[in-house]
Amino acid sequence: MKILITTLISAHLLLACSSNKVTNTHNPELVFSNIQSDFIVEDINNYDCSRIDITTLNYIFSTASPVSQRDVHDNFSTVGCSIKGQLTSENENIGFIFDYGGIIYLDDGKIMACGEGCCQNNFKYCSWEKQKTQTKVDEF
Amino acid sequence: MLRKDKDGWINSLKIHKEHRPAIEKAPIGTVTAIVLHRTGSNNAQSVLNSWESKQEGTHFLISEAGKIYQTASLNNQCWHVGKLYSKCRAVSSCEKEDAEAIEGILHKKNTNWGKKFKLVTRHELKKDYPARFPHNIDSIGIEIVGLISKTSEIYETPNNLQLNGLFWLVDELVSTYGLSIKDLYAHGQIAHKDTKKSEGTSSLKAYAIHRGK
């Protein structure tokens, strides 16, 4: 029993939790609360990505826009460093994965992505690129 | 083997021409590889519509019903690969100097990761294929309509109609360009696309089974 209680307390302490509400700037009807994560980075490409904190995560949720899979496919690059977490939205608890490339995959299938907002504010993992409008020889 | 006219279009009843000039770029070099993509959408028409004006696209598109469209001339590059992974880093085979150069880019200070990925891509493009992953300059791109599954978070396996179309097309391209199955790549494995590196992977696996490899 003691071990169980100790484990639960430790887990609680490890989970950084934000009970404050985050309102999305693009769609004020999108409100997220209880955003939490253990911030443990899964780093599939061995890029040694640093941990982010709850302030950064809140900022990303506030500036990300709902996008389609096609938008992500066409306009974003993933980093391969990601964290898992949970939040509450419309009274439902929803899990999420955040790829540092600025993409949030919610467990209910919705995707949100932080492109220009993240890049302009120097989120160093930003990998969004403005849609090309003219031909460049060395385009990637 | 496919019959290709001088303008890079295939003459075959199985291939439907839907020319999208916006996605055609500079002349392509020697074709050394094929890259398999997924659209992130559930129908071909929306993709064809978007390629009326978008800059990025692939030479071929396979619809939800397995219909094969050729959308760009095989004489031209399409922008379909994006920011490459370093191949030798991915398979742990870099020479010391090369490894240091790549790690130097990846750990460069005051540089965002979008820029780092561009620099790695530029570094890789100094190498000849197959020392690097294929890129726009030397590969044909095939998009297959399909979405990431909400439950598994990886791209769904193409349906049988799509796979039949894909197998026929890839067999023909492999024969036409003198390629092997080693020259067939899943987009998610070579460039920074989906988080689980799944784009094109199920198509590639299915093709390998089809070929008995």
In angstroms, the CA B31 to CA B74 distance is: 9
CB B203 within 8 A of CB B189: no
- Are B145 and B44 in contact by the 8 Å Cβ rule? The answer is yes
Token pair listed for B42: 């559930």
Give residue for tokens 């920074």: B192
Domain coordinates of chain B in residue numbers?
15-81+136-210, 87-124
Q: Which helix (H) or strand (E) holds B43?
A: none
Using the predicted structure, report yes or no on whether residue A5 has a pLDDT greater than 90.
no
Distance from CA of A22 to the nearest CA of B (A): 24
Q: Which residues of B touch A95 (CB under 8 A)?
A: none
How close does chain A come to B1, measured CA to CA in Å? 30
User: What are the Cα distances from residue A118, in Å, to A137, B32, B114?
Assistant: 27, 37, 12
| DSSP states along A40-88 | PPEETT---PPPP-HHHHHHHHHH-EEE-HHHHHHH----SEEEEEEEE
Provide the chain B residues 113-152 that lie in CB contact (below 8 A) with chain A: 113-114, 117-118, 121-122, 135-136, 147-148, 150
C-beta atoms of A70 and B79 within 8 A: no
**B112 touches A126 (CB < 8 A):** yes
CA distance B73 to chain A (A): 17
ipTM of this complex: 0.86
Compute the distance between CA of residue A58 and CA of residue A54 in angstroms, rounded to an integer: 6
Q: CA–CA separation, B201 vs B188, rounded Å?
A: 7
What is the DSSP-derived secondary structure letter of residue B85?
A: P
Partners of B4 in beta bridges: B10
CA of A25 to nearest chain B CA: how many angstroms apart? Answer: 24
In the predicted model, what is the mean pLDDT of chain A? 82
Q: Is A44 an 8 Å CB contact of chain B?
A: yes
How far A10 CA sits from the closest chain B CA (Å)? 29
Q: Which of A75-79, A131-135, B45-49 has the highest average model confidence (pLDDT)?
A: B45-49
Cis-peptide into B130, omega within 30 deg: yes
Decide if B83 touches A, using CB distance below 8 A. yes
Kindly give the pairing relationship between strand A22-23 and strand B15-17.
Answer: unpaired
pLDDT score of A126 = 82
**Type of residue numbered B192:** H
CATH topology of domain B15-81+136-210: Lysozyme-like (3.40.80)
In this structure, the number of other CB atoms found within 10 A of the CB of residue B19 comes to 14
User: A105 and chain B: CB distance < 8 Å anywhere?
Assistant: yes
Residue of A nearest to B27 (CA): A137
Name the pTM for this structure: 0.90
Residues of B in contact with A82 (CB under 8 A): 195
Residue-wise pLDDT for A89-122, tens only, equals: 999 999 999 999 999 999 988 999 988 877 777 7
**Over the stretch B103-156, which tens digit does the pLDDT of each residue have?**
999 999 988 898 899 999 999 999 999 999 999 999 999 999 999 998 888 999
The per-residue pLDDT for A19 is: 58
Instruction: Using the predicted structure, report yes or no on whether residue A134 has a pLDDT greater than 90.
Output: no
Query: Helix B201-210 crosses helix B160-177 at what angle (to 10 degrees)?
Result: 70
Q: How far apart are CA B134 and CA B84, in angstroms?
A: 9
Q: Of A72, A73, A79, which Cα lies nearest the Cα of A113?
A: A72
Taking contacts as CB-CB distances below 8 angstroms, the residues of chain A near B197 are 44, 80
Give the position of tokens 């020259």: B183
pLDDT digits (tens, 9 = 90+) for A36-75: 999 999 999 999 999 999 999 999 999 999 999 998 888 8
**Residue B213: is its pLDDT beyond 80?**
no
Nearest to B82 by CA among B104, B114, B112: B114
Confidence of residue A140 (pLDDT cuts 50, 70, 90): low
Say if residues A118 and A63 touch (Cβ distance below 8 Å): yes
Q: Flag if B195 and A69 touch (Cβ within 8 Å).
A: no
Asked whether the beta carbons of residue A122 and residue B79 sit closer than 8 angstroms, the reply is: no
Amino acid sitting at position B158 = P
